[in-house]
Structure 1
């Protein structure tokens, strides 16, 4: 971005800040008075992985990317699809060719038009082995023609099944019909990318002084491990209907410190510390809130060649899973409305009801007895105690859950589990390199369909960090992608997971927040929690 362009945008930003609350009242209920200061400040646990749409891999990073960039489709407050850069799409008779029509007033923050070629470049870039995107596999999950071959390096990225018919027409060819394909276009991996900027600055293209984006906000400041700031993008096609002027994400590792800062008025949103929701909901009715999330929380066994020999024995994995008293974790440790997990897929997912499992039907006493029996059969006991290390990323809540699990195993099974907490980036690298024995895992759905969870255990998944490999499971998931009736197939997959226990499901998430009463329009009805700052507003107190 040239200096003249920066000056022009700075001037437009200044003028828009003055006019914003006057211009943008389309999603504000009648009678609401807007605050003079339209700044939304919230807490994040860790430094985000990236703000590059094709590289970002964590929830907090994706929240920033959804503000900075806009894809083909967005979600409304209830998670329904709505137009983004695309005004709509058509699909051919066999549902294998999608044609998206782009709006003619979508622009990059440097004033250049957003065109179909920007999506072609971004999707090819995501699949290109040269980038090594952690979400490269997502392109294959979308069933885009030639995706597997491009990712494997057998075909060039230009052979991926995407093309620009003209500047405002983007065509995608699938290798097979995929009923939920349109929903997948709300994911950051599919957002457009500015080729010229990336080629000019390389890995530095996402720095505030270099980045060019097409969303409702631009990145104006980033201090690693401290804060990230985004401000309104005057070039955004719907800027007149944006109210929030500035969004500040503060990295605060300690959730109790974050709560104190919330109570001091420094934050508009933060997570409720583990175990404190009952008290805070009484003290702060309507401010301490809990609602269902499309996320799971689990521990994954390292089943790769570098993993412990003990975990190769399914009886050991089953024993450890059985001996976890999930009710203590959800009701006493967390106490925020999180449901216990006996399946990998959360109940909040659309169109699929997770099956009841044998473990779920047992009492905890029966589970413990079965766990003792299985571990003894596997050769472990007082004379040969099972020992291993469990890792998690730094967080008081994660620590409390890990401590509770290790104590349950010690008391019930005599297992010695040592604990290690790692900083987020180190944790991701350690887990991704299979340099662990038992590791915390969590997944928030990339789209609202059961496959977004079950595909994690496909042997080819980029996030199958435990390297679980079951050909039967792989085949069922492949069949589901071509089937119009997937419920039975997904039930079979959950049955395999329950029997093999490559992971230990612990609980399914709830959104447990302290949310300032002056924040309007937070999308509690969207279980994916794909929120956009442009849809929020601050109410005068």
Structure 2
């Protein structure tokens, strides 16, 4: 733990420090006694939505949420569960009831106590259909969800709370599920299952602009389009207390601009370099360069409101027309690994070669499949992507493969930023396909299949809808053991390659780095920097 220092002082120091843009790292500013504020500057982007955990399901908002809020539990680099705010999470014999016991002494950033009621109230609010939360479906396993979130369109809730959530005492609550779920403890490691303070309910809209969490950092400010600032929370009770005074998450229009700021000493941590900098960044940064795989995958996703009448063989053919090996080796400078599954290799349930050859490069077979399936709709493909994410080069390479091998028209459909890209997906305005990137919420095959391709999944922007797949997912959820659940989902993945809700491209690497101003920089298996561990030199 760092020595006692007022969080209010740190917030003020951050504001002053940000004005001193010519200075780097810990030289930004100080208090009246000349003590420097150790502020770490990391690249990011504009969150899509107000900063409420259950309304955030994209990377820029998640970077804030995951540091302002602490989860019940988390996962180490081997995918093993460890407790964070929870003392224990235990199930009954058949996994139908789970008991959560909280650690004592935790507080929100407004000084109020974190209690079992804080979790139960937050989850009930998020599940209620009237509150229109993106992540409400994460609570559908809980008894009484249908009472607060009726399935019938236009129907109103018949209850204010899910009956499956019960407070036992100040630090204990129980979760009763509609059917047993062997992996429910894994799900509790997702950001949606965090608590909210009582002040949230006074004005949820204002809260989204200035969230109050229970995590290692408290929210300081949000200058739209420029930066979000966080300050270390001195009364934080977790084991992962901040080893710096605060974080500035800087908004960049391009990864190339962020990299130049890193080289110039105006940025401390870059999470991903632009493809054009991949050939040089390791030489530029030396031992400060980071190149490591993480549990993430890149795909292209057809939107089924334009592809639903297309035979899946066409999409299998499109997949086999893409030369993943050459693109990852040349355009992406060896920084990615060609995918052979919908699931990342570090995730429990990954099967090598799960695609059964559908992700192999075979132009002749690709043309046969497309012809057998009746051809690409209008003989045209457009791949939507966000131009601020370093995707243009590989999108163009994929299109060139499709033009050459299938004789179709293929173009990139660039959106100026990730938020605009997501808005088009939300509004069902994607022309043909979109770039789909995913990194783990929890390290289990379920997270790479059900949370993307179930008909009811919020992140199913392609609007894929298969009763057979939904039933296979349900069978996996009802399995008695975790191993049986994984086996059922592996069977579901086999069927996914028959129906092709997406085309897996490659597995992701962290290709990032840090400045000379900071030390102790590492990234998780989800590809995110561990901001609390970074120290300013």
TM-score (norm 2): 0.86
Do residues 182 (structure 1) and 177 (structure 2) align?
Answer: no
Q: Which segments of 5 or more consecutive residues in structure 2 lack a partner in the other structure?
A: 1-5, 14-34, 151-155
Query: Could you tell me how far 1:91 is from its partner in structure 2?
Result: 2.7
Q: Distance in 2 between matches of 1:199 and 1:106?
A: 20
- 1:350–1:521: structure 2 CA closer, same or farther, 3 Å change rule? farther
Tell me the equivalent position of 1:264. 264
1:451 paired residue among 443, 446, 451: 446
Query: Do the aligned partners of 1:355 and 1:491 also contact (CA within 8 Å) in 2?
Result: no
Q: Is the 8 A contact 2:301 2:501 kept in 1?
A: yes
Is structure 2 residue 399 aligned with structure 1 residue 400? no
> CA shift at 1:184, angstroms?
2.1
Which residue is 2:534 aligned to? Answer: 537
C-alpha displacement of 1:258: 0.9
Which of 412, 429, 435 is matched with 1:435 structurally?
429
- Corresponding position of 1:282: 283
Alignment check: 8 A CA contact 2:46 2:224 kept: no
Separation in 2, partners of 1:240, 1:510 = 25
Indicate how the Cα distance of structure 1 residues 12 and 487 shifts in structure 2: closer, same or farther if over 3 A, else same. Answer: closer
The match for 1:25 is: none
Corresponding residue SS for 2:410: strand
Per-residue deviation at 1:450? Answer: 0.2
Deviation at 1:177, TM superposition (A): 2.9
1:183 is displaced (CA, Å) by 2.5
| Number of residue pairs matched by the alignment | 501
Indicate how the Cα distance of structure 1 residues 51 and 78 shifts in structure 2: closer, same or farther if over 3 A, else same.
farther
Q: Is the Cα contact below 8 Å between 2:144 and 2:161 reproduced in 1?
A: no
Task: State yes or no: 1:314 paired with 2:312.
Answer: yes
Deviation at 1:372, TM superposition (A): 1.8
Cα RMSD (Å): 2.8
Residue 133 of structure 1 aligns to a residue whose secondary structure is coil
Q: Are residues 11 and 443 of structure 1, via their aligned partners in 2, closer, same or farther at CA, if it must alter by over 3 Å?
A: closer
Deviations 1:356-382 (A, max 9, x none): 4332685x3xx211122233344559x
Matches within 5 A, 1:95-134: 95-134=95-134
Aligned runs of 1:125-524 on 2, under 5 Å? 125-140=125-140, 143-152=141-150, 155-195=158-198, 197-208=199-210, 211-238=211-238, 241-270=241-270, 271-304=272-305, 307-308=306-307, 312-359=310-357, 362=360, 364=361, 367-380=362-375, 386-395=379-388, 397-422=390-415, 423-436=417-430, 437-455=432-450, 456-483=452-479, 484=481, 485-516=484-515, 519-524=518-523
1:115/1:532 CA distance change after superposition, 3 Å: farther
Contact 1:38 1:537 in 2 (8 A): no
Q: What per-residue deviation string (whole Å, max 9, x for no partner) do you get for residues 272-311 of structure 1? A: 221533432234332221112111111111113xx157x6
Shift of 1:46: 4.2
Name structure 1 gaps, 5 residues minimum: 1-7, 16-34
Q: Kindly indicate whether the alpha-carbon contact (under 8 Å) linking 1:120 and 1:162 is maintained by their aligned counterparts in 2.
A: yes
8 Å contact kept, 2:84–2:238 = no
Q: How does 1:41-120 map to 2 (within 5 A)?
A: 41-76=41-76, 80-120=80-120
In the aligned structure 2, how far is the partner of 1:386 from the partner of 1:488? Answer: 38
Counterpart-to-counterpart distance in 2, 1:159 and 1:229: 35
1:160 to partner: Cα distance:
4.4
Q: How does 1:20-35 map to 2 (within 5 A)?
A: none
Where 1:51 maps in the other structure, the secondary structure is coil
Structure 2 contact 317–370 (Cα < 8 Å) conserved: yes
Shift of 1:158: 0.8
Change (3 A) 1:77 1:465: closer
Shift of 1:228: 0.2
Corresponding position of 2:29: none
1:451-475 residue CA offsets vs partner (Å, 9 max, x unmatched): 0011011122122222222222211
Partners of 1:355 and 1:149 lie apart in 2 by 42
Please give the per-residue CA displacement for 1:223-258, whole angstroms capped at 9, x wherever unaligned. Answer: 111100000123322499532111010011211111
Q: Following the alignment from structure 1 to structure 2, what is the Cα–Cα distance between the partners of residues 373 and 11? A: 67
Question: Could you tell me whether the CA contact under 8 Å between 2:254 and 2:388 is conserved in 1?
Answer: yes
